[in-house]
C-alpha cells in the first residue's frame, strides 16, 4: 500500500467515487472535488484545528446537492478525501515552501497566487487563514498524495471527458463548488447566490454559461459571472472549446443551504437541491446543434 493510501485507509473508504447511470445519456460530466468529508487520522493528529475548523474549506454536501445529475444520465465524480489534505483543483505541484522543511523539486510551482495564500496542492491553511498543521507533512507524504490520489483522480476525469467526446462528439464538464456567504476584505460585502465561472468566456461555449445564468435567475437567485470566481485549475485545464471540450464552474452560496457556523444543513437544502435539478435538466437539454461535433479521428 502506498503512503497516501495508507494515510487515507483510516477512513475505510476509496479516495473518490464515480456515480454513474447504467448508460450515459448526455455529454455532461459533473465533478465535486472539494466536498470530501472523510478526514484521515494522520491529518487530525497533525493539526491544531477542531473538526469543524478543518472543514472550513470544504464544499459541504455539494456532491449531494448535485446528485440528481445521475438520474439525468450524467456521471458525477466526487472526492471523499478532504480539500484540507489534498486539493485537486490545483496544478499537481503547487507546493508551499513555508510548509516543508525539505527542498522542493525544481518543477514545483512555488510562486502562484494560490501558494502565496497558503492554498496550494497540499494546503497550509484552511479558510479564514487558519494554519492546519502543528506537525507539517513531509515532502514524501505530499508527493505520495499527488502521485497516488491526485493523479488517479485526474486520470479518471480525463477518461470521463474522453469517453463523452467519443460517444457524443463533445463533452461538457460542470465543476461544482460552494462559497462562504461573505467575501474577503477585497470584496467587503455579501456574495450573490450563484457565481458562474467560465474563465471569462474562454473555457466553454457561451450558451452553456448563459443557460445556467438564465436558469438560476428565473428561479429567483442572484447570479453573477466570473466575479470573484472565474474558475480554478480544473475549469482552465479541461476547457478547450475549439476541441469540443467545455468546462464551466458553479459556485453556490453556502448560506442558501447550511448553517455556516455548524456546517449543518438547513431547511433550504431540499429547496436548493430541487432547484439545481431543474436548472441542470434544462442545461443538459440544450440541442446538440449548439456544439459542433469534433472529428475525434482527426485529433
Pick the CATH number of 3-298 from 1.20.1440.130, 3.30.1380.10, 3.40.630.40, 3.90.550.10: 3.40.630.40
CB distance 89 to 59 below 8 Å = no
- Percent of the chain as helix, strand, coil, to the nearest 5: 40, 15, 45
Please state, in angstroms and as integers, the Cα–Cα distance from residue 227 to each residue in 171, 247, 250, 293, following that order.
Answer: 25, 17, 12, 30
- What would the pLDDT profile of 185-197 be if each residue is shown by its tens digit? 655 578 999 999 9
- What confidence score (pLDDT) does residue 292 get? 67
Bigger pLDDT: 7 vs 52: 52
- What would the pLDDT profile of 237-247 be if each residue is shown by its tens digit? 999 999 999 99
CB distance 84 to 108 below 8 Å = no
User: How far, in Å, CA of 235 to CA of 173, rounded?
Assistant: 8
Which residues lie closer than 8 Å to 46 by C-beta, 6 or more apart? 132, 133, 134, 135, 136, 137
In the block, cell 507524504 appears at 141
User: How far, in Å, CA of 254 to CA of 268, rounded?
Assistant: 10
Question: Dihedral (C-alpha) 160, 81, 179, 205: value to the nearest 10 degrees?
Answer: -10
Asked if pLDDT for residue 219 goes beyond 90, the answer is yes
Nearest to 273 by CA among 15, 11, 71: 71
- What confidence score (pLDDT) does residue 296 get? 47
Nearest to 113 by CA among 139, 137, 90: 90
- What confidence score (pLDDT) does residue 1 get? 66
Asked if pLDDT for residue 112 goes beyond 90, the answer is yes
Region 113-117: mean pLDDT is 96
Element (DSSP H or E) covering residue 16 = strand 16-19
- What confidence score (pLDDT) does residue 299 get? 40
- What would the pLDDT profile of 9-53 be if each residue is shown by its tens digit? 877 799 999 999 999 999 999 999 999 999 999 999 999 999 999
Asked if pLDDT for residue 297 goes beyond 50, the answer is no
Look at residue 83 and give its three-state secondary structure: coil
Nearest to 258 by CA among 69, 61, 35, 38: 61
User: How far, in Å, CA of 291 to CA of 298, rounded?
Assistant: 17
Name the percent of the chain lying above pLDDT 70: 95
- What would the pLDDT profile of 154-210 be if each residue is shown by its tens digit? 999 999 999 999 999 999 999 999 999 987 665 557 899 999 999 999 999 999 999
Asked if pLDDT for residue 281 goes beyond 80, the answer is yes
Average pLDDT, the chain: 94
- How far is C-alpha 13 from the geometric centre of its chain's CA atoms? 19
- What confidence score (pLDDT) does residue 295 get? 53
Asked if pLDDT for residue 80 goes beyond 90, the answer is yes
Name the grid cell of 140.
514524501
What is the CB neighbour count within 10 angstroms for residue 243?
13
Q: Residue 73: which region, alpha, beta or left (left: phi > 0; alpha: psi -120 to 50)?
A: left
Please state, in angstroms and as integers, the Cα–Cα distance from residue 295 to each residue in 163, 168, 243, 299, following that order.
Answer: 14, 11, 9, 7
Amino acid at each position: 500500500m502506498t503512503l497516501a493510501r495508507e494515510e487515507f485507509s483510516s477512513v475505510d473508504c476509496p479516495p473518490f467515487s464515480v456515480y454513474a447511470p447504467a448508460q450515459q445519456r448526455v455529454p455532461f460530466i459533473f465533478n465535486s472535488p472539494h466536498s470530501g468529508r472523510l478526514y484521515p487520522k494522520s491529518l487530525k493528529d497533525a493539526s491544531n484545528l477542531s473538526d469543524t475548523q478543518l472543514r472550513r474549506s470544504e464544499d459541504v454536501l455539494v456532491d449531494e446537492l448535485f446528485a440528481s445529475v445521475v438520474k439525468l444520465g450524467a456521471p458525477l465524480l466526487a472526492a471523499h478525501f478532504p480539500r484540507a489534505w489534498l486539493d485537486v483543483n490545483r496544478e499537481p505541484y503547487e507546493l508551499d515552501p513555508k510548509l516543508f522543511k525539505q527542498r522542493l523539486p525544481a518543477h514545483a510551482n512555488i510562486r502562484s497566487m494560490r501558494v502565496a495564500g497558503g492554498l496550494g496542492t497540499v494546503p497550509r491553511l484552511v479558510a479564514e487563514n487558519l494554519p492546519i498543521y502543528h506537525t507539517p507533512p513531509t515532502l514524501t507524504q505530499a508527493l505520495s498524495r499527488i502521485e497516488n490520489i491526485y493523479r488517479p483522480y485526474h486520470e479518471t476525469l480525463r477518461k470521463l471527458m474522453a469517453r463523452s467526446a467519443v460517444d457524443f462528439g463533445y463533452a461538457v464538464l460542470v465543476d461544482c463548488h460552494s462559497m462562504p456567504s461573505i467575501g474577503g476584505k477585497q470584496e467587503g460585502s455579501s456574495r450573490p447566490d450563484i457565481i458562474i465561472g467560465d474563465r471569462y468566456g474562454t473555457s466553454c461555449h457561451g450558451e452553456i454559461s448563459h443557460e445556467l445564468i438564465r436558469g438560476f435567475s428565473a428561479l429567483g437567485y442572484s447570479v453573477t459571472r466570473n466575479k470573484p470566481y472565474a474558475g480554478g485549475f480544473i475549469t482552465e485545464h479541461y476547457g478547450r472549446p475549439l476541441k469540443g471540450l467545455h468546462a464551466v464552474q458553479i459556485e453556490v452560496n453556502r448560506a442558501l443551504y447550511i448553517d455556516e457556523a455548524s456546517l449543518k444543513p438547513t431547511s433550504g437544502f431540499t429547496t436548493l437541491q430541487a432547484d439545481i435539478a431543474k436548472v441542470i435538466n434544462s442545461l443538459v437539454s440544450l440541442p446538440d446543434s449548439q456544439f459542433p461535433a469534433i472529428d475525434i479521428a482527426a485529433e
